[in-house]
Structure 1
């Protein structure tokens, strides 16, 4: 069901010894899935950050969604080394501000392919821009969704800065670089 390769890169980083959050699961170092993460307990990082409540916020309450995003406790992510997948891309600006020395790993693919795969494999996926607050990708014409994906990725590339930025396209054929070396 992949759309940009976040699962692949998250797993690879865990194999390199990092604690990685991908969506609602936590990968401990060396590729071990942390079964206690995402279980709704008081130790659940997603629950602590109140991220789960954001996914239920729709367009009918855009003001609440935007306000809620301003109050998320991003510093709680200090317990992990890397985060991937929704809702983290939607809060990339906040994450970059909360962790000014962090490296930014952006997984990408050709924008029109991304729209096609995202709609096909993620029913109800939100559009790809900062704080979409319930705007669904399927509600936009495909070219608009593709341009939003491209523009948001360009913005993250610019704000992330060249000294701490790594863009990875795991779908690109005939890559002339070694992904493992880039990640290390």
Structure 2
């Protein structure tokens, strides 16, 4: 059986960039083959949080916004973040209210995940929110959002046809579709 221990040796590391959300760290390393090399790491300072709201009629709510980093418009479930060391569920409740104006009575954690395994260490959680009640949305000043109530079956079709490509939304929709097929919803 092959070892699961870390084969990388860090010779030195230096923070190249730092802001309230991320830092970029340059590493001088000895790689697993024993050769000198470099490795850049993006360190995330927040949880990534996703919430799939699902009402009693199996409708969900998509949030549309222009994603600066992708240079394109994206439809996705309500998403955001919360500082590491805080309860991710609290961040999920906040994000759902901020982006859609919804509050939920029932919360189910669907999955823990990490978004990248090559250059970033962003971890997060995805939740299913049920027992929905509508309030006023409270978007952040940096968000220009559209919210659409869509039958879950349509959102599943959009995921299958790559009309929705956000990885957290894809994972949540596929997980909930499986729960529906298994009779858990």
Identify the TM-score tier after normalising by the shorter chain. Answer: under 0.3
RCO comparison, higher one (Cα < 8 Å, 6+): 1
For normalisation by structure 1, the TM-score amounts to 0.23
Say which structure is richer in strand.
Answer: 2
For normalisation by structure 2, the TM-score amounts to 0.23
Say which structure is richer in helix.
Answer: 1
Which one has a bigger Cα radius of gyration? Answer: 2
